[in-house]
């Protein structure tokens, strides 16, 4: 059966919410956790992780909102791919910022990661979405250029 675009869009929205939450958790932890007499957010590696998380969240947010407005199956497929990536990589990066504490019951980070993995496998998978986007791209591309004399 063909994938349900409404379910895919709702899953993308769930992934977006999780990605935004893990970004907030990472930034909050980076501001409060101190190492070597300063917040870990002062270290360049942590700054980079947090900034990459924020960029992925905002790109996914724009895609999910646009897909909700257009309801186009290709827009939904793209939003789903971006939101899945933002949720999974965001949770992984948040876990990195939290260190070993991220996998304890004191923190929700590990739950976000496990649920992001689970949601990414729900309904239309990444491979199906990528195929749909590739087919559309190939169909809209101009034919091969033929040079005279070749």
Structure token pair of residue 127: 């491979």
pLDDT tens digits, 52-107: 999 999 999 999 999 999 999 999 999 999 999 999 999 999 999 988 766 666 77
What would the DSSP string read from start to end of 116-128?
Answer: HHHHHTSSS-HHH
Most confident of 13-17, 132-136, 145-149: 13-17
More confident: 73 or 125: 73
Class at the top of the CATH hierarchy for domain 5-121:
mainly alpha
Structure token pair of residue 78: 């793209």
Torsion of CA 105, 111, 113, 118, to 10 degrees: 150
Q: Which of 26-30, 42-46, 71-75 has the lowest mean pLDDT?
A: 42-46
Nearest alpha-carbon partner for 87 in 113, 122, 121: 113
Tell me the domain boundaries of the chain.
5-121
Count of all residues that appear for the chain in the document: 150
Residue keyed to tokens 């070993």: 100
The structure's pTM equals: 0.83
Percent of the chain with pLDDT over 90: 59
């Amino acid at each position: 059966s063909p994938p349900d675009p409404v379910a895919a869009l709702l899953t993308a929205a769930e992934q977006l919410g999780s990605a935004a939450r893990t970004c907030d958790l990472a930034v909050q932890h980076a501001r409060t956790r101190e190492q070597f007499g300063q917040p870990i957010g002062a270290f360049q590696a942590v700054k980079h992780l947090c900034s990459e998380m924020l960029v992925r969240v905002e790109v996914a947010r724009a895609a999910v909102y646009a897909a909700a407005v257009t309801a186009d199956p290709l827009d939904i497929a793209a939003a789903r791919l971006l939101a899945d990536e933002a949720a999974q990589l965001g949770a992984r990066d948040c876990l990195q910022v939290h260190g070993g504490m991220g996998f304890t019951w004191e923190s929700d980070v590990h739950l976000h990661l496990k649920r992001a993995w689970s949601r990414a496998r729900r309904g239309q998978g990444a491979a199906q979405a990528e195929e749909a986007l590739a087919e559309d791209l190939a169909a809209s591309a101009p034919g091969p250029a033929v040079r005279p004399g070749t």
